[in-house]
Amino acid sequence: MTTATSHLARLSPRASCASCWNWLPHVHYPIVGYCTLWAEATFDDYYCPGYVLLEIKTERLYWCSTCRIKLTREEAALHWSHGHRIFRSAYVEPDVKEEIYEG
């Protein structure tokens, strides 16, 4: 069976998972994340031929991993302009929710 990692080459500084539309960073530890193309977790510096540069164009919600919040398109563009790391969404594994307490 083909897995994501067999397609991946590490350490591509410009076009890595960290700037890919298909990639969702871990909500707390964004050095790893989940690739929606290959349905597998990867490190942020991986690269594959399915790379699609993330652009803040579509009217939708985005994820700011610097602030750990969801943003509208306009807000995401603003955060991006301040150097924040913007993604399509975040990867929240089930254990994260298990460790959150109610107020």
Partner 1 sequence: MTDVSLIIGGPQGGGIESAGQVVIRALVAKGFNVIGTREYHSNIMGAHSYFHLRFTDKPARALRLPVELVVALDAESALTHVWDVSGKGFFVYDADSKDQDAGRIASMELSLKKRLKETLGPKGGATVGNAVRLVEERGATPIGLPLKALLKKVSDETASPLAAIAKTINVMGLAAGLYLLGIEYNYIAKGIELQFGGRPKVLKPNLVAAKVAVDYVEANYGKQRALPDGPHKGRRRMLASGNDIVAMGKVVGGLTFQTFYPITPSSDEAFYVEENMYVDVNGSKASIVVLQAEDELAAVNMILGAAAAGARASTSTSGPGFSLMNEAISMAVMAEIPIVISLWMRAGPSTGIATRQGQQDLLHAIFAGHGDTPKIVVASGDHREAFYDAIKTLNWAEEFQTPVIHLLDKYLAATITVLDEWELDVSKLEIKRGKREEAPGNDYKRYEITEDGISPMAPLGKVPMLVSSLEHDEYGMVTEDPVDREEMVMKRLRKWRTIANSIPEEEKLVLHGDPDARVTLISFGSTKQAILSAMEDLAASGIDVNFLQFRILSPFPAETASKILERSEKIIGVEANFQDQLSFLLRAHTGIYVPYRVRKVNARPLYDSEVVHAVEKIVKEGAREVVVSSGA
Write down the residue that tokens 């700011």 correspond to.
Answer: 64
- Give least dist CB 26 to partner 1, A: 6
- Give least dist CB 103 to partner 1, A: 4
Instruction: Tell me whether strands 46-47 and 9-10 are parallel, antiparallel or unpaired.
Output: antiparallel
Q: 10 — phi, psi (to 5°)?
A: -85, 160
Q: Which helix (H) or strand (E) holds 2?
A: none
Q: Which positions lie near partner 1, rule CB under 8 A?
A: 5, 26-29, 31-32, 34, 40-43, 64, 66-69, 83, 93, 95-97, 99-103
Nearer to partner 1, 59 or 99 (CB): 99
Nearer to partner 1, 15 or 69 (CB): 69
Distance, in Å, from the CA atom of 41 to the CA atom of 67, rounded to the nearest integer, reads 22
- Give least dist CB 14 to partner 1, A: 18
User: Contact 38/7 with Cβ under 8 angstroms?
Assistant: yes
Nearer to partner 1, 8 or 56 (CB): 8
